[in-house]
Amino acid sequence: MDLHSTHAPTPIPCPSCGDVQTHDVATVVIVSENPELQDEIRRGRFQLHQCPNCGHTIYLITPMRYFDAEQGLDVLLLPEAMEVSWRAHLDTPATRVVFGMEALTEKVVCSAADLDDVWVEIAKIDCFRRGVLGNLSVDRRPRIHKVDKEGLHARRPSPFLIRHTRFEEIQQHPEAWEAEFKALGSDPYVDMGRILLPGA
Ligand SMILES: [Zn+2]
């Protein structure tokens, strides 16, 4: 592969006060070249920026490719606003497309823990169906940010845990999740958002 980690100056408006600043934002991250960036992404610190004008904190995002040959991850990161029209933005083949930095963190964390991301999304749907997480909505989608001995941890809608025992139990009954598996596992957009967002 002749790709290298790359960044480019990009003007990005603050969503809170509208102040536009130009930032050096990554367009390509090659993990073998910059393992420290993978670590920043896993810790949720990558391109996390505080607006000097109003103090609002945002992730600086421009379309970015994330390659981790060791984990077999080839992810296209796009701004959240592009989620509904994701097909139009997938101009180069990627194994995964994600919207927003938290979604990238989730893929990186789950891949490092050898968890199949289609089953991760199904496990979240299972939580909602069991009423553990209140109503199912796009904004309340949990994002896994840590996997440890107990299970999969998310901060949203409020901090919660999918225990490994439950995660394994779900996978033992694939017949119960046939429709979801088909809907979520057929292309690079592996996110419960595609079930929740009209048109996605
Ligand atoms: Zn601001």
Give the tens place of pLDDT for each residue, 101-123: 999 999 999 999 999 999 999 99
Count how many residues are written for the chain: 200
Distance 170 CA to ligand 1 centre (A): 43
Mean pLDDT rounded to a whole number for the chain: 92
Distance 18 CA to ligand 1 centre (A): 6
What local confidence, expressed as pLDDT, does residue 153 receive? Answer: 97
Distance 1 CA to ligand 1 centre (A): 39
Rg (CA), the chain: 17
Distance 60 CA to ligand 1 centre (A): 13
Distance 189 CA to ligand 1 centre (A): 31
Give me the residues near ligand 1 (ion), CB cutoff below 5 Å.
Answer: 14, 16-17, 19, 51, 53-54, 56
Alpha carbons within 13 A on the beta-carbon side of 94? 25
Distance 48 CA to ligand 1 centre (A): 13
99: left (phi over 0), alpha (psi -120 to 50) or beta: beta
Using the predicted structure, report yes or no on whether residue 138 has a pLDDT greater than 60.
Answer: yes
Which has the minimum average pLDDT: 7-16, 83-92, 152-161?
83-92
